[in-house]
């Protein structure tokens, strides 16, 4: 995905105190700053590293990806470790598919949200807003959603027990507001949560 010489250059520049914007400019690519991670974005890959450890799961993408069942990996961006850097398959955020996503039928939008909710429930993921989920670069039909940035894992069963299905839906944070009939899709998510934990 990214040449070893490029990874070495990123590491050397970081060690010399360069910020992510300077590193990206030198490489001729874009930079990104998340809550916990800095990243440089190449055509088909993202190289990221922990900037500030605001939560315990920051930078554990590779360890998490290793736990994902083979049949579920289609819904997660592939990633590998290189020293303290993560090299991840580049995906396009759902937010960038605004027009294309709005043109999908209600049934298709519902299917996308339910696939993502299913993964969130099975792996205890949350904060899956429209900038953390999307589609592969090669998925022109936008029908296989991919999770590429997960804030971590939580015991969603405990949240369900304490606060109910509605709180789990909000905690997972999927962008159902982008769908035609957001109330119906939210209701479908709540049914899924109740069935999953029931």
Distance CA 4, CA 103 (A): 41
Same domain, 176 and 154: yes
Q: Which of 61, 82, 63 is nearest to 7 (CA)?
A: 82
Q: Which of 36, 34, 45, 35 is nearest to 10 (CA)?
A: 45
Pairing status of strand 79-82 against strand 146-147: unpaired
Domain range holding 66?
A: 4-89
Same domain, 138 and 53: no
CATH number of the structural domain spanning residue 85? 3.30.200
Same domain, 184 and 102: yes
pLDDT digits (tens, 9 = 90+) for 99-111: 899 999 999 999 9
- Whether the model pTM is above 0.75: yes
Same domain, 112 and 161: yes
Same domain, 47 and 141: no
Instruction: Assess whether pLDDT exceeds 70 at residue 53.
Output: no
Quote the crossing angle between the two packed helices 156-163 and 182-197, to the nearest 10°: 100
Same domain, 84 and 97: no
CB 114 within 8 Å of CB 192: yes
Q: Pick the more confident residue, 51 or 77.
A: 77
Q: Which of 89, 112, 147 is the last residue of a domain?
A: 89
pLDDT digits (tens, 9 = 90+) for 120-154: 999 999 999 999 999 998 877 788 999 998 767 78
């Amino acid at each position: 995905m990214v040449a070893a010489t490029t990874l070495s250059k990123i590491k050397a520049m970081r060690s010399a105190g360069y910020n992510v914007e300077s590193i990206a400019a030198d490489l001729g690519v874009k930079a990104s700053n998340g809550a916990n991670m800095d990243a440089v974005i190449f055509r088909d890959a993202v190289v990221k590293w922990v900037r500030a450890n605001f939560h315990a799961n920051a930078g554990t993408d590779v360890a998490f990806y290793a736990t994902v069942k083979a049949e579920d990996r289609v819904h997660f961006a592939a990633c590998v470790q290189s020293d303290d850097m993560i090299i991840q398959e580049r995906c396009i955020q759902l937010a960038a598919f605004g027009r294309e996503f709005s043109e999908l039928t209600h049934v298709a939008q519902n299917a996308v949200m339910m696939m993502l909710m299913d993964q969130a429930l099975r792996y205890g993921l949350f904060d899956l807003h429209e900038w953390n989920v999307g589609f592969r670069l090669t998925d022109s039909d936008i029908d296989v959603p991919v999770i590429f940035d997960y804030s971590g894992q939580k015991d969603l069963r405990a949240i369900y027990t304490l606060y109910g299905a509605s709180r789990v839906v909000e905690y997972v944070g999927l962008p159902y507001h982008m769908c035609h009939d957001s109330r119906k899709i939210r209701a479908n998510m709540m049914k899924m949560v109740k069935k999953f934990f029931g």
